[in-house]
Amino acid sequence: MKAFTHARVIDGRGGFIPDGTVVVDGSTIVNVGAASGVEILEGTEIIDCGGRTLMPGLMDAHTHLETTASNNVINEVAQYNLPTRTMRSYWNALETIRAGITTVRDVADIGDCVIAVRNVINQKLLPGPRIIASGKAINQTGGHASMSTEYQWSRPDAGGSGHCVDGEAECRRAIRTEVAAGADLIKIYVTSGLYDPFLGKPRDEFSQKEIEALCEEAANSGKKVAAHCHTAKSAKYCIENGVASIEHGMMINEETLELMKAHGTFWVPTTIVYQMMADGAKYGLGSSTIENSRKALVNQEKMFRKALDMGIKIGIGTDCGGVLINHGETARELECLNRWGMTAMDCIRAATSANAELLGIDSITGSVEAGKEADILIVDGDPLEDIRILQNQEKILVVMRGGEYYKDTFSGLC
86 vs 79, more confident: 86
The pLDDT value recorded for residue 357 is 98
Other C-beta atoms closer than 10 Å to the C-beta of 124 total 10
Q: Confidence band (pLDDT; 50, 70, 90) for 112?
A: confident
Same fold? 2-57+365-413, 58-329? no
Cβ-proximal residues to 98 (8 Å cutoff; 6+ apart), any chain: 328, 393, 399, 406, 407
Nearest to 295 by CA among 232, 227, 202: 202
Residue 410 has pLDDT above 70, yes or no: yes
Return d(Cα 140, Cα 167) in angstroms, integer. 9
Name the β-bridge partners of 105: 132
Alpha carbon distance, N-terminus to C-terminus of the chain: 19
Name the β-bridge partners of 131: 104
Residue 152 has pLDDT above 70, yes or no: no
Q: Confidence band (pLDDT; 50, 70, 90) for 160?
A: very low
Cα-based distances in Å from 237 to 142, 164, 406: 20, 20, 42
Cα-based distances in Å from 210 to 140, 216, 234, 260, 309: 10, 10, 11, 20, 33
The one-letter code for the residue type at 304 is F
pLDDT tens profile 233-261: 999 999 999 999 999 999 999 999 999 99
The pLDDT of 311-316, averaged and rounded, is: 98
Residue 354 has pLDDT above 50, yes or no: yes
Average pLDDT over all residues of the chain: 91
Alpha helix positions (H), 253-354 = 254-263, 271-278, 287-310, 331-339, 344-349
Buried b (16+ CB within 10 A) or exposed e, 317-352: bbbbbbbbbebbbbbbbbbbbbebebebbbbbbbbb
Secondary structure class of 335 (helix, strand, coil): helix
> DSSP string spanning 221-252?
TT--EEEEEEEHHHHHHHHHTT-SEEEEEEE-
The pLDDT value recorded for residue 324 is 86
The correct CATH number of 2-57+365-413 out of 3.40.50.10470, 3.90.226.10, 3.40.50.300, 2.30.40.10 is: 2.30.40.10
pLDDT tens profile 194-217: 765 555 567 899 999 999 999 999
Residue 289 has pLDDT above 70, yes or no: yes
> DSSP string spanning 172-211?
HHHHHHHHHHT-SSEEEE-B--TT-TTT-S--B-S-HHHH
Q: Which CATH architecture has domain 58-329?
A: Alpha-Beta Barrel (3.20)
Domain ranges in the chain are 2-57+365-413, 58-329
Distance of alpha carbon 117 from its chain centroid, rounded?
17
Q: Confidence band (pLDDT; 50, 70, 90) for 45?
A: very high
Q: Confidence band (pLDDT; 50, 70, 90) for 67?
A: confident
